[in-house]
Each structure stands twice: as structure tokens, then as C-alpha cells.
Amino acid sequence: MTAQDTTDANARIEELVTSNDVVLFMKGTKTMPQCGFSSRVAGVLNFMGLEFRDVNVLEDNDIRQGIKDYSEWPTIPQLYVKGEFVGGCDIITEMTLSGELDQLLEKNGVTFDKDAADKIREANKG
């Protein structure tokens, strides 16, 4: 990847995360995830009725590497809310189960199905 490719990828990533309330950089798409971790996060967001932009990193190597550099986070998927990096699969799972994801979405004025979020927590109680 050249310096120009890196600059282009960063500019495209910046545009994606600032022009969409919720963005998930993932392997595959929200309707057809291509890895278990991406599937888990997309599944939670879909179940919660969240409108989000999915970006398939498998279709663009510059974005696939660029998003890791952009966030300084080594793995995919990566979730952004209102331009801020939230985390990957484990963090999103923990935040969903603790209710922190609900709070973050509410604070940022992002619409989601609170009952669905409660159902996820209920289903995952030990």
C-alpha cells in the first residue's frame, strides 16, 4: 500500500464514520456476514433494530488495512457511533449485556429497540 493509498483510505474511512450515525466495518455484509465475529455484532445491531452502514472490508484491501490503522485496533469488526470508535466483537458483546451500548446510543440520539436489547440481556443471563 502506497502513501497515497493510505491517505485515500483514511479520507474514505473518515467520510464513512462522520456521515453515518452508526458504521460497522465487517467481513461481509449485514445480510451476509463472512465471519463469526462480524456475524455476532451485525446480528446484535440488526436484532436491536439499529439502522447502520455496513462496510465490507473483504471488498477493499485499502479499507481492510486502513481501518486498523485509523482506529489503532488490530481486528475486524469495528463499530463506530457518531464518528467515535466503540470497539470490536468482545467489547460490543460486553456493552450490550451490561446496558452500556444502550446508554451510548441514547446519549447520541441513535434510535434502537430497547425491548430487543432487554431480550438479548434476558437470554444471556447466567
* CATH code assigned at 40: 3.40.30.10
- Sequence letter at residue 43: G
| 89-98 helix and 114-123 helix, angle to the nearest 10 degrees | 100
Total domains, the chain: 1
Confirm or deny that 35 is annotated as ligand binding. yes
Question: What whole-number distance in Å separates Cα of residue 28 and Cα of residue 94?
Answer: 22
Kindly report whether the global pTM for this prediction surpasses the value 0.75: yes
- Sequence letter at residue 69: D
Question: What whole-number distance in Å separates Cα of residue 113 and Cα of residue 120?
Answer: 11
- Which of 97, 104, 102, 105 has the alpha carbon at shortest distance from 122? 97
Give the residue numbers spanning the domain of 65.
3-123
pLDDT digits (tens, 9 = 90+) for 71-102: 999 999 999 999 999 999 999 999 999 999 99
